[in-house]
Structure 1
Amino acid sequence: MNAPPTIDLARISAMDQAQAARLLKGVRDAALSGRRPHLLPRPVIGDSWGRMLLGGVDPDHDVRARPLGEEEVAERRRASPLADVLPDLRDILVSVADAAQHIMVVCDADGRVLWREGSAAVLRRADALGFELGADWSEGVVGTNGVGTSLVVRRPVQVFSAEHFVQTHHAWTCTGAPVTDPRDGRLLGVVDVSGPLQTVHPAMVALVDSVAKLAEARLRDRHVTALDRLRAVAAPVLARLDGRACAVDAHGWTAAVTGMPPVDRLALPKSLAAGRTWLPSLGPCLVEPLPGGWLLRLDDPGGTPQPVTATRLVLDVSSPRRWTLSVLGGARDWTHDLSPRHAELLYLLCTSRAGRTASDLAEDMFGDPARTVTVRAELSRVRRYLGGLLAHRPYRFPEDVDVDVIMPERSADLLPHSTAPTVRAARQGAEP
């Protein structure tokens, strides 16, 4: 039997709003009752509804967590890198939002509302929904929505009317796009434009996504400026040294080197401190503080970095939003936070010990075995911190290294950002 067609949001947006809302309500009602629908929800919405059903979110009534107090909101604002790019967000989005009877909302990585601006009338309607400063708008609290769902899938999401899982939000439309830190890929939060469902427009997705990318570009510019300052401080220090040394910022980005090939970035432990230590990419070294970063002096001036060794690798993908790889049993145990793409690739490799070619992984990731360039580029970055622990031709881990994968309790929470066909199949309970 052929599957029903999937909803096209552009066509829905072109309909009479009441007609579109009724159509989406019928799709949602069928999904909640287990009946076969005439139309399927969009994949990002259907996946989110599945998470809500498994998580026990009430589809009929919203649940409002206690909003943060004024002092905690102020503290989170001060700590958020998004505060630095707020003027850019305002310049573009607030005027658009106000004219279109929307509001601009900026949330942190926990889904907490830190800033709101725009139409006064819509702000009052948002207050009635609990969409206020300090509110928790994460998916597990308020169901499928442009803020919380965008945080989970790490890509732009527009949610219209009955695509919201919770019925009390059906009069609303929201479009969110995540903002990540260009220094380390950490999720910083979401930029969102929300308003009454009558104001929905599919072009809003492209606008909000463009503004989120602009924010990331501004943060990248600030990072380059900070590296230039560190380079200016480090250059005279490195000029006086013999042997191998480098200056890096707190995230491991290299500002300057001497006596060794330059690399873009080094894997650093979270709690790096002055003194002697061991780093997976360098081996034993002396760490000294610099303004804006660290000076790393290698203990063996004429040698080469020690190879990474281990007897066990542990890939932890149990969390829907943070993934780590631990290397155990070597010269030092260490843990590395993974980007979304590296988490996907390492999951595919850890669950296929026989190894995968670049073509195999391209098929797993994109459904297209010809997309090997992206795969090889990402795995070359992985090998910078894994070294000989990741062989190639095919890509695989050594047979004498135990590989464990810590999975989430629910398969639906496995790398929920991933659109890789093999990962999607695993989320639905099929073998990877």
Structure 2
Amino acid sequence: MHQESLETALPTGEDPRRYAHVLARVHDAALAGERPPARPRPVIDASWQRMLSRGIDPERGRGGQPLPPEELEARRRGSALADVLPLLRGRLAGVAEQTAHIMVITDAEGRVLWRDGSSSVRRNADALGFVEGMSWNEDIVGTNAIGTALVTHRPVQVYSAEHYVRSHHAWTCACAPMHDPRSGQLLGAVDLSGPAATVNATTLALVDTVAQLAESQLHAVHASDLERLRRTAAPILSKVDGRAVVTDPHGWVAASSGIAPVDRVALPTECDAGRTWLPTFGDCVVEPVPGGWLVRLLDDDATTESARPRTRVRLDLRSSRQARVEVTLPSGDWSHPLSPRHAELLFLLATHPDGRTAAQLATDVFDDPERTVTIRAEMSRLRRHLGGLLSRRPYRFSDSVDVDVLRPPDSESLLPHSISPAVRSSDGHD
């Protein structure tokens, strides 16, 4: 979005105090079902209508509780925005400190992941519940720059009584959403919030510009990831007979053999290993490779057996120092080292071939079914490396995968770092 198209909360030349008074009258009339003295801006009017239809309390919202510290940390580690956190802080945290604002970064659900800036404003935010781990989406706190930007996918500035909940009328906020350049999916938002008296029409332009810079940096990270995948792809493609491409998990092509170059392949939303039909190529066979997929185009005379290759996975847990997953495909072999947590999770999935829900895995690992956010974050990281081997809903090894678990001779040496109740109670049989 170009900055000249941004709609700021304070009209040019308008006195902030007088305008805040007008907004308060408009807010009161709208909530009372009366004819307001002026119309709110379209983005605010639409949000207010959503809040009225959902029965949000204009005095206190719906309330909520911040995430437990371990779940907040899991969301931070799993967020792609962690890659651009230094940029966001470098461009906005100092501005926030100097202008009596706080800088807030949220995930796509509106959960506050990071917060920096003025200590006095942070204390005021604490009293409002505007803290790390708290949800700031519209369904919880009503119309606000963060929640409304996440709904509209557009930069939004909200001033004073444009906030739906009255306790927020002392604030002004400017927020811009950020999207993943690989998939277009919403990642979260960056926001500058402060006392209403600090409202400035240029704040939204600044926040939007920094959000665009963050997306540009994510694009550069993606290009670097593709280059690494390209180096991996070369030896894989050299072993493949016929036409093929190697893509990242989002379908972006790293390398190809025997076909005209294309930028991206439209992979299925829930891509899995095996035979599939792709709009770009028609009948194909998809196989997992480190960091992405190998897509082999099928000739008309391809046999049914060759079109449905099996993937063999060996989960090697024999070493107490380093667990590994070893993968055998028609196109070749590869392996990947596993962290202790990922070794636990893959072991649990291997011993439950029908799959496990996030709550079941949380019980298996932590003896606490509520710690699903931590599990989802860890599984998300696992799928970045092993996406083609794993399915979701429930989490399990894909149907085209045959799994062997290589255990140490001594059952006491099986994942000795683990305190998982399910691992420790394992009787040594799959």
What is the TM-score when the length of structure 2 is the normalising length?
0.66
Question: 1:175-213: CA deviations, max 9, x gaps?
Answer: 110000000011000101101101110100000001111
Question: 1:351-406: CA deviations, max 9, x gaps?
Answer: xxxxxxxxxxxxxxxxxxxxxxxxxxxxxxxxxxxxxxxxxxxxxxxxxxxxxxxx
Question: 1:242-274: CA deviations, max 9, x gaps?
Answer: 421111110001112222222221121244333
- Of all paired residues, the percent bearing the same amino acid is 55
Report what 1:315 is aligned to: none
Asked whether 1:9 is paired with 2:9, we answer yes
Check conservation: 1:12, 1:20, Cα contact below 8 A.
no
One-letter amino acid matched to 1:111 = G
Report what 1:120 is aligned to: 119
What SS is found at the alignment partner of 1:93?
helix
**Aligned-residue offset at 1:240:** 4.6
Paired with 1:263 and 1:255, the residues of 2 have a C-alpha distance of: 10
Paired with 2:215 and 2:87, the residues of 1 have a C-alpha distance of: 11
Paired with 2:109 and 2:19, the residues of 1 have a C-alpha distance of: 31
Report what 2:132 is aligned to: 133
Check conservation: 1:104, 1:193, Cα contact below 8 A.
yes
Paired with 2:253 and 2:30, the residues of 1 have a C-alpha distance of: 51
Report what 1:361 is aligned to: none
Asked whether 1:291 is paired with 2:290, we answer yes
One-letter amino acid matched to 1:19 = R
- The residue correspondences of 1:10-29 to structure 2 (distance < 5 A) are 10-11=10-11, 14-15=14-15, 17-29=16-28
Check conservation: 1:156, 1:205, Cα contact below 8 A.
yes
Check conservation: 1:97, 1:103, Cα contact below 8 A.
yes
Cα distance change, pair 62–275 in 1 and its aligned pair in 2 (3 A): closer
Cα distance change, pair 9–176 in 1 and its aligned pair in 2 (3 A): closer
Runs of 4+ in 1 over 4 A off after TM superposition: none
What SS is found at the alignment partner of 2:10?
helix
Cα distance change, pair 302–228 in 1 and its aligned pair in 2 (3 A): farther
What SS is found at the alignment partner of 2:271?
coil
**Aligned-residue offset at 1:161:** 0.3
Paired with 1:29 and 1:204, the residues of 2 have a C-alpha distance of: 27
Asked whether 1:56 is paired with 2:77, we answer no
Paired with 2:239 and 2:9, the residues of 1 have a C-alpha distance of: 62
**Aligned-residue offset at 1:49:** 0.6
Cα distance change, pair 302–10 in 1 and its aligned pair in 2 (3 A): farther
Paired with 1:12 and 1:142, the residues of 2 have a C-alpha distance of: 28
One-letter amino acid matched to 2:53 = L
Report what 1:372 is aligned to: none
**Aligned-residue offset at 1:233:** 1.8
Check conservation: 2:156, 2:174, Cα contact below 8 A.
yes
Report what 1:32 is aligned to: 31
Paired with 2:75 and 2:134, the residues of 1 have a C-alpha distance of: 13
Paired with 2:153 and 2:49, the residues of 1 have a C-alpha distance of: 17
Paired with 1:62 and 1:104, the residues of 2 have a C-alpha distance of: 22
Unaligned runs of 5+ in 1: 1-6, 304-432
One-letter amino acid matched to 2:10 = A
What SS is found at the alignment partner of 2:295?
strand
One-letter amino acid matched to 1:166 = V
Question: 1:89-137: CA deviations, max 9, x gaps?
Answer: 0001000001000000001011111100100000000001110111110
**Aligned-residue offset at 1:12:** 6.8
Paired with 1:291 and 1:82, the residues of 2 have a C-alpha distance of: 23
Paired with 1:98 and 1:301, the residues of 2 have a C-alpha distance of: 65
More relative contact order, 1 or 2 (CA 8 Å, 6+ apart): 2
Report what 2:220 is aligned to: 221
**Aligned-residue offset at 1:61:** 2.4
Report what 2:387 is aligned to: none
Check conservation: 1:111, 1:151, Cα contact below 8 A.
yes
Report what 2:276 is aligned to: 277
What SS is found at the alignment partner of 2:267?
coil
Asked whether 1:80 is paired with 2:79, we answer yes
Check conservation: 1:62, 1:168, Cα contact below 8 A.
no
Check conservation: 1:73, 1:114, Cα contact below 8 A.
yes
RMSD of aligned Cα (Å) = 1.9
Aligned residues: 296
Check conservation: 2:48, 2:143, Cα contact below 8 A.
yes
**Aligned-residue offset at 1:63:** 2.8
Report what 1:265 is aligned to: 264
What SS is found at the alignment partner of 2:126?
helix
Check conservation: 1:13, 1:201, Cα contact below 8 A.
no
Check conservation: 2:226, 2:248, Cα contact below 8 A.
yes
Check conservation: 2:275, 2:284, Cα contact below 8 A.
yes
